[in-house]
Amino acid sequence: MYQLKKTEVTCICDDVYVLTDRAGGCVNLVIGKEKALVFDTGSGTDDIHGLIRRITGLPLVVINSHGHFDHIGGNGQFDTVYMHPDDFVILESYTAEILGQWRRELVPGQDGFCQPFEAGQWDKQWNNMKALDFDSFNLGGLECRVIPLRGHSRGSIGIWIPKRRLLLSGDALTPVMCLIFQNHMPVETQYHTLECVKDLDFDYYLTSHHNQWFPRQTIDRLMRCIENSGKGKWHPYQYPYPPYAKGRIYLDSMEGEPVALICESDREDDRGNL
């Protein structure tokens, strides 16, 4: 995660964009002939909706990859946002005060769109969110399929777009696999998710903290990381940004993009003993 002075827009390929907000959160935008998909809404520090409307005027399908605050913070800018029901429990841990504080810490000293959450309106904060109750949809010439990616959180999902040979993965397939945040699952679940992902036909994937794509071969590296971690050397780890979770990290490989596994400190089932 890193701080920017303004939202950055990266065109990955035709009609596929990554919008990176000032807090380093990435929003994936995929444009079809009839609709556009917005996958995640960032930390709420930027006018993501306004920027999207400068790119496309098509009706929007807005879906959260999971329920962590830096991916749902901009939900209030949209009429309807879908999220897997298994992650709605995360919303119960958020207050206007804590999310407002985290926003300020993510973009310190910057003016602009970033505003504190209004405590008086907090009871309506998530009213536009609905349970994701469909497993496919069409943007017009682009079929999209909802794929379970449990591990980083119980309700993590991805969007597979076969025609683009593309998978949108949120945080579920980041090269540094992080299993220490709210509603996370054990490493065995993460490994099973990677096994299932290998059965999908795609060439590259996007995460929610990178403005670049990763080749599908990265999945093999993630699996090897988990396999090697059982006998590897672990180190104490402190996540340096909100929500400041602690755990242990195993660094498996530095070739190209570093690949690592972060788990809770002493839970035996979270330390790669497969």
Tokens found for residue 81: 């946002």
Give the pTM.
Answer: 0.93
116 versus 57: the higher-pLDDT residue is: 57
Q: Are 196 and 160 in contact (CB under 8 A)?
A: no
Whether residue 252 contacts residue 259, with contact meaning beta carbons closer than 8 Å, is answered with yes
- Tell me the pLDDT tens digit for each residue of 70-80: 999 999 999 99
Please give the pLDDT value at position 265.
Answer: 80
What are the CA-CA distances from residue 97 to residues 43, 59, 102, 116 (Å)? 15, 33, 9, 8
**Residue 104 has what pLDDT?**
85
Q: Tell me the mean pLDDT in the region 94-117.
A: 78
Per-residue pLDDT for 266 more than 70?
no
Over residues 14-60, the pLDDT tens digits come to: 899 999 999 999 999 999 999 999 999 999 889 999 999 999 999 99
Q: In what order do the strands lie in the sheet with 166-168?
A: 136-138, 143-148, 157-161, 166-168, 204-206, 214-215
Is the Cα torsion angle 70, 89, 28, 261 positive or negative in sign? positive
DSSP for 46-106 reads S-HHHHHHHH--S-EEEE-SS--HHHHTTGGGSS-EEE-GGGHHHHTT--HHHHHHHHHHH
**Peptide bond preceding 243 in cis form (omega within 30 of 0):** yes
Reference 186, options 241, 134, 226, 238; nearest CA is: 226
Instruction: Round to whole Å and give the CA distance between 263 and 58.
Output: 41
Calpha distance 55→195 (Å, rounded): 36
Q: Residues 6 or more apart from 150 whose CB is under 8 A from it?
A: 86, 156, 172, 185, 189, 190, 193
Task: Give me the residue label for tokens 């995660």.
Answer: 1
Distances (CA, A) of 164 to 13, 18, 85, 88: 9, 15, 27, 30
Average pLDDT, the chain: 91
Judge contact between 83 and 132, C-beta under 8 A: yes
Phi and psi for 188 in degrees, rounded to 5? -60, -35
For residues 226 and 259, is the Cβ–Cβ distance under 8 A?
Answer: no
d(CA 23, CA 19): 11
Residue 272: the pLDDT is 43
Confidence of residue 215 (pLDDT cuts 50, 70, 90): very high
Delineate the domains of the chain, giving CATH numbers in brackets. Answer: 8-175+189-224 (3.60.15.10)
Check if the beta carbon of residue 67 is closer than 8 Å to that of residue 83: yes
High-pLDDT (> 70) share of the chain, %: 89
